[in-house]
Amino acid sequence: MEDAAVKRVCEGKDASHRAKKTKEDSENDREEVREEWELENVLSGFKLTKVLSDSAREKNMFIHGKIDEEEAVVILEKTPIREDTVVEMLNGSRLKLEMKNDIYSTYQLQPPPHLNEIKTTLICPATMKHVKKYQHQEIFLVEETGEDYQSITLPYIQSTSFSVQWVQNILEKKAEAERIVCEDPDPEVGFVLLPDFKWDQKQLDNLYLVAIVHKGGIKSLRDLTAEHLPLLQNIYLKGKEAILERYGLPASKLRVYLHYQPSYYHLHVHFTALGYEAPGCGVERAHLLADVIQNLQLDPKFYKSRTLFFPVKKDDGLLLKFKEAKRL
């Protein structure tokens, strides 16, 4: 009798626990649905203006439009196929035969929804500078001397460059604090290392992180002198160590570089997987950090006087400035 009573009490507690858990799960599910619905509402209000560019090879598309009458840019990218989902994808997908000839056949494969994601980046409100940045345009290679930088480029970027408030938000832990992989808080040689928004963090093949320096006032490669060597060396060494520790990727499989021109004017360094052809990693724009360090060791003001080349789109105002100065 006592065993039966105990059993009834235990069953009652279990039932109560299950009911409570079911209620909690239901509330969590409803919260997730609300969050997904809120996100869906934001994007469902999008009104297309035009497709800025698209790439069949890169499997991405850049779109300009409006959300609630505010200018917006949406970036759609097919995520890479992950090795750990291949078996599930092949076993759980629907196949539609397109062609069969002897041992060869092609199909349309429809994977389960959770394996068919499209990484979506929203910029809103977007400026026309954002629109032009992602628009497919004819590209020109600009040759910039040290004098050109002082008389043409610097005045232009001081008057038209993107806001870097989002950078300050990261440095001040007002945004993306949970995404930081590594931080050195030193105000002179410190930096934060975190995943670039281009990387979905689901595989190492397209690993992409960025180190943003704490020290203000360094806009780009042009501002670097020998006094910044401790900062650059610190980023180079600690960034590689952090990536090895977190992701198991050794320095021999990393590409570490700076852009010139950069997309925003607060010094930052890119860390990408060596096998990944990241946007802007070509020789006309990327400068290996190891080379930058060596150049400054040989000449403390190397980048103050060095002639640098960089690509500029046809509608970029900087290109017009170089044409007006008869430098192109």
- Give catalytic residue positions: 268
List the Cα angle 234/238/243 in 5-degree steps: 150
Report d(CA 171, CA 177) in Å as an integer.
8
Helix (H) or strand (E) holding 53: strand 46-55
Report d(CA 260, CA 221) in Å as an integer.
7
Which DSSP string do the residues of 271-296 spell out, in sequence order?
A: EEETT---TT-STTTEEEHHHHHHHH
Q: How many CA atoms lie within 13 A of 315 on its CB side?
A: 10
Burial class (CB in 10 A: 0-12, 13-18, 19+), 270: buried
First-to-last alpha carbon distance for the chain, in angstroms, is: 98
Which DSSP string do the residues of 131-155 spell out, in sequence order?
A: HHHHS---EEEEEE-HHHIIIIIHH
The label of the residue with tokens 């949970």 reads 178
- Which one-letter DSSP state was computed for residue 187? T
